[in-house]
Amino acid sequence: MDIPYTVEARPDTGLYNAKLGIWLFLASEVMLFGGLFSSYILERVGADAGTWPHGWLNVPLGTLNTAILSLSAITTLMAWVACKTRNYGQFKLFHALTLACAIAFLGVKGYEYHDKFMHYEVQLKDGRIVDGHLIESKPDHIVIHGRYVQSHAELMQAAPAAQLSEIELKTGEIASMDNYGPWHNTYLAMYFTLTGLHALHILGGAIVIGYLWSFGSKMWYTDHQRFTNRIEVSGLFWHFVDLVWIFLFPVLYLT
């Protein structure tokens, strides 16, 4: 038994099954990310002045990732155009570029995560705080590339690079130390949740695109229209992922 409207559009709606399906899925995704965004806004608006971090994230890297993802949106579009114009070579090229962009995006994001996990807030026994990146850790001492601060309020603004220096701390001086993981504070919890969920979407999309580029591309010759539909649907998902990043970048990095 054939399932109707997998290739051709249903006459009354003008849509094939997968197209309607992906838009309904994207609607549910809007609500998923919407819930997280609204939580972030609630926390951000409710925070007292001077208690919300500013400038903690690497804006040039965020901008680079925006460029990478925007470029991948174009290559996805071009891959679909290549399907429509039956140019297999171009399809392979543009989809490979999309995959390369996805890998590059995840690479940059991985670097940013690593940077946060290496960033420590060290509470000293004399009440001062040392904040910076851990560059050496030995049983009797650690070395931090960072700065001394007197209170948590000072930490809310990122320090200019000129104010940072190498600080060696004896283990006996340290009361506690905590890295900038999701457990560190509300802002980082939201950052890791939002960007982690987004990165999982990138990974999922890349797996689908990778399949359509490799094994799945056999369908190009056996059922071209259906294959083109698959490229269109995967492209819609990819554009949505780009759309989410277009809001994540300014909300988390710039405001």
Of the candidates 200, 147, 137, the residue with the CA atom closest to the CA atom of residue 170:
137
Is 157 near other proteins (CB under 8 A)? no
The enclosing H or E element of 190 equals helix 186-213
The piece of 139-147, 149-157, 208-216, 236-244 that touches other proteins (CB under 8 A) is 236-244
Amino acid code (one letter) for 245: W
- Distance, in Å, from the CA atom of 235 to the CA atom of 77, rounded to the nearest integer, reads 7
Q: Where are the alpha helices (DSSP H) in 47-117?
A: 59-84, 88-117
Stretch that binds other proteins, among 144-152, 185-193, 206-214, 233-241 (CB under 8 A): 233-241
Query: Shortest approach of other proteins to residue 111 CB, angstroms?
Result: 19
The CA-CA-CA angle for residues 83, 234, 33, to 5°, reads 155
**Residue 88 sits in the site that holds other proteins (CB under 8 A):** no
Distance of closest approach, residue 249 Cβ to other proteins, in angstroms: 8
Q: Closest CB to other proteins among 54 and 218? A: 54
Q: DSSP string spanning 200-242?
A: HHHHHHHHHHHHHHTGGGGHHHH-HHHHHHHHHHHHHHHHHHH
- Kindly tell me which residue out of 18, 53, 56, 66 binds other proteins, with binding defined by CB under 8 A: 66
50 is a site residue for other proteins (CB under 8 A): no
Q: Is the alpha carbon torsion for 9, 92, 78, 195 positive or negative?
A: positive
Q: Interface with other proteins by CB under 8 A: which residues?
A: 9, 13-15, 19-20, 23-24, 27, 30-31, 34-35, 37-39, 41-42, 45-46, 59, 63, 66-67, 70-71, 73-74, 77-78, 81, 84-85, 225, 232, 236, 239-240, 242-243, 246-247, 249-251, 253-255
